[in-house]
Amino acid sequence: MSSDRQHETGRTRPAAVIVLAAGAGTRMKSTRPKILHEIAGRSLVEHAVRAVAGLQPERLAVVVRHQRDVVVEHLGTVAPDAVIVDQDEVPGTGRAVEVAVEALGELDGTVVVTYGDVPLLSTDLLGELVAAHRPGGVTLLTTELDEPGAYGRVLRAQDDTVAGIVEFKDATEEQRAIREVNSGIYAFDAALLRRVLPQLSTENAQREKYLTDVIGLARAEGVPVSALTCPDRWQLEGVNDRVQLAAVGAELNRRTVEGWMRAGVTVVDPATTWIGADVTIEPDVTVLPGTQLHGRTTVATGATVGPDSTLTDVVIGAGATVVRTHGSGARIGDGATVGPFAYLRPGTDLGADGKIGTFVETKNATIGAGSKVPHLSYVGDATIGTNSNIGAASVFVNYDGVNKHHTTIGSDVRMGSDNMYVAPVTVGDGAYSGAGTVIRKDVPAGALAINVAPQRNLDGWVTTNRTGTAAAKAAERAGATTDSTTDRPTAESDPS
């Protein structure tokens, strides 16, 4: 065997892999193609092409038809080197493989056929199939089910080789009682496919060209037909409706969570924890109940995430704590704390030992190491230096109705509560501000910004203007007198 037919693991490389992805998926009842529905953050077809890519096939073909342009656009991102093959008007998996073989041209060796809606199928299992395949023949993946349903049944000869496959709708009652079912995933000899695919007929209940009929044609030629039985039926589970989508997604998540726990991550409640396929978690991380980690989220060692947090594409530093937080496209530094009830929007970058606290929303905000936005604030389009503190109930007023503007806060700044920063504005290092300040112009370093008018108290106003109310009675009990003057301004006219 030539060296170019081996990849570095020593496993035989197939000459080609054909992924069948032309079906309409009508049982999904969706405007989106079935194979573009997602589990664990990847489309069904992305799971499929990633599995076959691990075999390092010489050629990869994907057969498409339903919503062809949408599917092809997606394949351009997840399988850019794939040969796109259009299935014609002739229905059936046999015809799909036939047009793929025609499109791939000269092939010599093993051709693997699989599907775009079998997301748990692994590279390892496909590798076992290729290794078990006998040159010149056919090898199929099978499994045994307690309730085989509508799957095609595997018919065995007396010598236990595969005699044929019968589709459920064409099967007799005796054949339907067989528990061994065909997964529809095969390894074929390329030359065999070229010989027998043109012989396939549509003379059957579905009026389709069945790929399973290749088995009978191969046996008629005396070609060896064998089966590799897979005890893990989930790897062969296809998705045809949203019930199956949820079931397969839940099983994949169970396996993913278990894998991270075995890698040194503490998951307190696996049943309520969801971890995407592209998430990375280091050892000694703790994930609390109700947490969802999506996209390319990464969590460094010693961090605690949750409970009740949903994070997408968030980078969490070592030893950080993220509690009851919704976030996307954000970075959280080492030792920083976030939440509870924080909302991190894209562009948030919290420095080491910083804090984004309760009911704080951030967007396009760089918050330096040791700086804190503790509570009830909005920080948008802003840069905050190191070791600064933003008082409660502060708003960075970044939008003038037409354009967004930036606010810059220096280092070691102490801002009062209920401040408004009307961007663009800069606050220098070491500056302070009073409570209730509206900052409309730059504050120099070390300055105190205040713009509050002197407080005025109108004695006796409640007992005069709210006679008989609970407040007035309370004031009278406290010794307040009625204001009898006529030139005293009322609250409605008080300019303060």
Residue 442 identity: D
Alpha helices in 64-212 (DSSP H): 68-78, 93-104, 123-132, 173-176, 190-196
What does the alpha-carbon distance between residue 428 and residue 450 come to, in Å, rounded to a whole number? 15
Based on DSSP, count helices (H) and strands (E) in the chain, helices before strands: 10, 35
DSSP annotation of 270: G
Q: Name the residue type at position 454.
A: P
Report the alpha-carbon distance of residue 250 to residue 288 in Å, rounded.
Answer: 18
Alpha-carbon gap, residue 347 to 328, rounded angstroms: 9
In the block, residue with structure tokens 């074929």 = 188
Catalytic residue among 47, 133, 326, 375: 375
Q: Which one, of 288, 329, 351, lies nearest residue 338 by Cα?
A: 351
Distances 413 to 66, 364, 377, 385 between C-alpha atoms, Å:
60, 20, 16, 8
* CA–CA separation, 409 and 351 (whole Å): 14
CA 364 to chain centre: 22
**In sequence order, which residues have a C-beta less than 8 Å from that of residue 207 and are 6 or more positions away?**
91
Q: Give the CA-trace dihedral at 51, 54, 56, 62, to 10 degrees.
A: 10
Cis omega before residue 454 (within 30°)?
A: no
Backbone phi and psi for residue 330, each to the nearest 5 degrees, phi listed first:
-120, 160
User: Could you confirm whether 47 is annotated as catalytic?
Assistant: no
Catalytic residues: 375
